[in-house]
Amino acid sequence: MGGSNSPITKFVNVSILRNRKVIREELWVQDGKIIDPEKMFWQRKEADITVDGHGLLIAPGYIDLQINGAYGFDFSSPSDLTERNGVQEVAKRILSTGCTAFAATVITSEPATYAAVLPHLSPRPGGRHGATVLGAHVEGPFINEQKYGAHKKEFVKSRCHDFDELCRTYGCLDNIRVITVAPEIPGMLPCIPQLVSRGIVVSCGHSMASLGEGIKAVEQGATLITHLFNAMVPFHHRDPGLVGLLGTRDNKCFYSIIVDGVHSHAASVNIAYKSHPEGLVLITDAIEAMGLGPGSYELGTMHVDICDNQAFISGTRTLAGSIATLDGCVRNFRDDTGCSVVEAIEAATLHPAQTLGIQKSKGTLDFGSDADFIFLDAGLFVKATYIGGVLAWKADDL
């Protein structure tokens, strides 16, 4: 970067979040990366373009590790991906929420569905055209049939005979970045190291696991818990289940949580945050109704009704994902816990990046990282989204 002749852009009249602090400093970008202006000074290079940030805060772009769809597109629907270009449509429209990278999530499905959708969920870089696609998060089907939640029970596999069966179920593991499994089902523990060796993050969820079973999963390589408190054994003082991992000394892991005001009470969010703040990862678990109004929608093969900002499987009171946006979850998290602005933002930036092991390129504004960032006002509302240092979306009032 230092020897490049590409144009240099500097953002002035801004605060930036760097090294866990908000500081008043310019942000310099070249070749899609954040650069050190001090090096430019010694090379006697000036910026070619200056952008006025209007006193706003520049933060890393948000990263959503669990989103089932949005804006009328469902990632578990083959036709939405093949005929309607759903991934790219969501990637483009989600920029307004500050999300610059996401893992497209596929719920428990038949093998034929995985074979149809996973090839369309390959990792691809973001840009003016839309957010980065990190690959797929397959949530199921190797989950506990007692905690299937908003998944089709007949598609659940309550045991895994061997790793070959797991591979046959998905058809191909190449595009899978995260997999949610119930670690206690027969045959699953030996599969975890094999998944991890292929660069797949193993998350524990939709599970009846005891704390002891959760610890065994972590020892095998699991590093994440899927939507804490939901679709798992409730906390009990004698055996706290997967929730208890937050209180262990040597088996802590990252945990995702839906802070939409529906899935978890504010007090529960606060307990999790106070127990293990460095591991908290905000997700939306949004379905295709995100960004749309009340009505009837689909999640895989199931019908979902949206009413009063809540999503339920039709005819039931079973929650079926959310309609939350990630920027809204950041604001809710700050309000629910009283955490700092830095902590609220890092729960949607640094922590998900660390979960995937991509923190050297995403989730921070460190020198050399990808220039994926957002402009936020004092209320943490998104005013502009940049990917690779290029403006991809901005609010009408900016």
Q: How far is CA 100 from CA 97, 171, 211, 382, in A?
A: 9, 28, 35, 12
CA distance readout (Å), 189 to 194, 200, 204, 217: 10, 15, 11, 6
SS3 315: coil
Strand-strand pairing, 373-376 and 27-30: unpaired
DSSP string, 317-336: --B--B---HHHHHHHHHHH
Q: Is 164 a catalytic residue?
A: no
Residue in 285, 327, 336, 370 annotated catalytic = 285
Q: Report in angstroms the alpha-carbon separations of 47 from 27, 53, 58, 106.
A: 11, 15, 18, 44
Alpha helices in the chain (DSSP H): 37-42, 78-82, 86-93, 111-117, 163-170, 191-197, 211-220, 266-275, 326-337, 341-346, 350-356
Catalytic machinery residues: 285
